[in-house]
A and B are shown apart, each in its own frame.
Chain A
Amino acid sequence: DTGVSQNPRHKITKRGQNVTFRCDPISEHNRLYWYRQTLGQGPEFLTYFQNEAQLEKSRLLSDRFSAERPKGSFSTLEIQRTEQGDSAMYLCASSFRTGSNTGELFFGEGSRLTVL
């Protein structure tokens, strides 16, 4: 068990370019979440998956953002036509809930995006 893995860890891009982030959750975890965090703020929910199904997407999320989780394993988050306001840390987290565990989130180290 190597924990939640995200890459790239850092991405610098020019405004208008597309970027894609990848998240590999803990292998037995069926739930996967994407959050965005800016300096001094708490994580802001973007979307989450249960297995391969995208169950919820934040209403604040622009249609430039799309996420997938093919086969219920790794997930990708794509941002099209990036804007400077997209600069943030993108956090991925996974969990596995049963009747007897707490089902807490396990976070990856994050992918930091800088849009110039």
Chain B
Amino acid sequence: GQNIDQPTEMTATEGAIVQINCTYQTSGFNGLFWYQQHAGEAPTFLSYNVLDGLEEKGRFSSFLSRSKGYSYLLLKELQMKDSASYLCAVRDPRPGDYGQNFVFGPGTRLSVLP
């Protein structure tokens, strides 16, 4: 089956660092994605990991351990505008020419307080 878990809510202070965890169990794996979604808006792509290790992108970093089925998104120097939901998604390939599917977690709602 397909299962992706994330904490439901997190709160942090402006200027701080926050780590949002994601664990997954999927039938296949071909990359893990993090998306940011502000209330009432579409998700936007933040980061991508397909190999183990850390990918850094400005204030955002994402880590992957395929053997543990685990990823985290690290946000540094938090700003008020970072208040949003953060979605973890796994790309699950299909055999043959059947393409691929993206399975999303429930999302973590982050509130950044002054």
User: Please, how many angstroms separate the alpha-carbon atoms of A105 and B105 in the complex?
Assistant: 15
Q: A40-B106, A41-B106, A105-B102 are in contact. List 20 more A-B contacts (CB 8 A).
A: A31-B99, A33-B102, A40-B107, A41-B107, A42-B4, A48-B99, A50-B97, A50-B99, A55-B99, A56-B94, A56-B99, A91-B42, A93-B102, A102-B33, A103-B31, A103-B91, A103-B100, A105-B43, A105-B89, A107-B43
* Cβ-defined contact, B94 with A109, below 8 A: no
* Cβ-defined contact, B102 with A56, below 8 A: no
| Chain B residues at the A interface, C-beta cutoff of 8 Å | 4, 31, 33, 35, 41-45, 48, 87, 89, 91, 94, 97-107, 109
* Cβ-defined contact, A45 with B103, below 8 A: yes
* Cβ-defined contact, A56 with B98, below 8 A: yes
Say yes or no: is A108 at the interface (Cβ < 8 Å to chain B): yes
User: Please, how many angstroms separate the alpha-carbon atoms of A108 and B106 in the complex?
Assistant: 19
Residues of chain A contacted by B45 (CB below 8 angstroms): 104-106
Interface residues on A, range: 20 to 34
* Given A33-B102, A45-B101, also A109-B107 (CB < 8 A): no
Say whether chain B's binding surface is mostly helix, strand, loop, or mixed. Answer: strand
Residues of chain B contacted by A44 (CB below 8 angstroms): 104
The closest CB in chain A to the CB of B105 belongs to A42
Say yes or no: is A97 at the interface (Cβ < 8 Å to chain B): yes
Q: Name 7 A/B residue pairs within 8 A (Cβ), A-sorted.
A: A41-B107, A42-B89, A50-B97, A91-B43, A105-B43, A105-B102, A106-B45
Inter-chain CB contacts under 8 Å: number:
62
Say yes or no: is A43 at the interface (Cβ < 8 Å to chain B): yes
User: In the assembled complex, how far is the CB of residue B45 from the closest CB belonging to chain A, in whole angstroms?
Assistant: 4
The closest CB in chain A to the CB of B44 belongs to A107
Which of B43, B48, B109 touches A43 (beta carbons < 8 Å)? B43
